[in-house]
Amino acid sequence: MSKRVRPGYYRQDVNKTSWEVPERYRELRQVGTGAYGTVCSAVDSRTGTKVAIKKLYRPFQSELFAKRAYRELRLLKHMKHENVIGLFDVFTADLSLDRFHDFYLVMPFMGTDLGKLMKLQRLSEEKIQYLVYQMLKGLKYIHSAGIIHRVSSLLYFHHVCVSSQLVFSHGNLQDLKPGNLAINQDCELKILDFGLARQADIEMTGYVVTRWYRAPEVILSWMHYTQTVDIWSVGCIMAEMLQAKPIFKGSDHLNQLTEIMKLTGTPTQEFASKLESDDAKGYVKSLQKVEKKDLQTVFPTTNPQAVSVLERMLLLDPESRVTAAEALAMPYFSEFREPEEETAAQPYDHSSDNADQPLDLWKRHTFTEILTFKPVVPDSKETAL
């Protein structure tokens, strides 16, 4: 006998999975799937707006999954900025903690992402300015909460590249890349997915796309990450929008670093001395010296103000890179700039996310977060149909 549906809810099969959702959410259509969940578009019959609903795949199958699910929920609840994905609603059809197995996250529906948009069209200078301005506004907000988009996943895996005895970062890390930047038809952008690591997206060429946007210090695990790892990614994405092709298209980790250093030059002695790993220091010393390129020669037809933004972002030394807040004040963005919208976040409390707790406790915390959530009424600007 099948389980009864909670009053006010209905059941629908989506891609061989049973979804139980409140009756207000209609016209469920699968729009995406990953290793950790499925996303459907739906229409909220109360407001007439289109929303995205995400169902996590077996969120309580292990402590790691439960911790990740709890963390994504808390991060989404915390985010209240027009350029960062936030939460309209969260619900479960399970009526009590002992029956609690699944929950669903309701977010703005955006329509497409920057990766898809760049494949469809060559972006105008004005669009590039506006999109990068929004990325930086979103990052300023995320960074002010004490969150790094890049290293927000819970676990890091490393494998040793035997040929050079260097440790490369690998595995469940979430990157800022074109596919993580959602865009609607008004060219409004939201940063997505800093809670869930997903499988690395592999191009038909077999290349791991995420690597192309990854800061050199992350590829080499050669020092503590700072928030400027995300700035490097923005620089890579901006360069790709300007020249309609990825700027550093490495076929593997070492090739990626080689491609980067063709542009940035090899590390200076001063920078090499900051490296924490002896292996990394040895590797840097073994490199044939390459001079830094003048970016204006790499982008000869590009607006010099855009090139000066790239010059400040694509620097090998993370401490020398511009911050999101500093970049927003650069002349390239003056046309769109509204400083009062460049808001900061309330600090995000990481302590409970990083605790080691049994599965039942993660489940209880998540259930409590769902029960205490106050749904947001989306305004017309918040959605894209």
Is residue 175 part of the annotated active site? The answer reads yes
Element (H, E) at 72: helix 63-78
d(CA 231, CA 215): 9
In order of 19, 39, 112, 201, 324, the CA distances from 15 in angstroms are 10, 11, 21, 21, 40
Catalytic-labelled residue, pool 44, 175, 193, 353:
175
Angle of CA points 135, 115, 379, to nearest 5°: 55
d(CA 94, CA 364): 13
d(CA 339, CA 71): 30
Query: Length of the chain, please?
Result: 385
Are 248 and 259 in contact, with CB atoms under 8 Å apart?
A: yes
Residue with tokens 């298209």: 249
Is 116 annotated among the ligand-binding residues? no
- Determine the residue type at 81: H
Element (H, E) at 363: helix 359-371
* Residue 240 burial (10 A CB sphere; 0-12, 13-18, 19+): buried
Binding-site residue set: 55
- Binding site for ATP: what residues are annotated? 55
By annotation, the residues acting in catalysis are 175
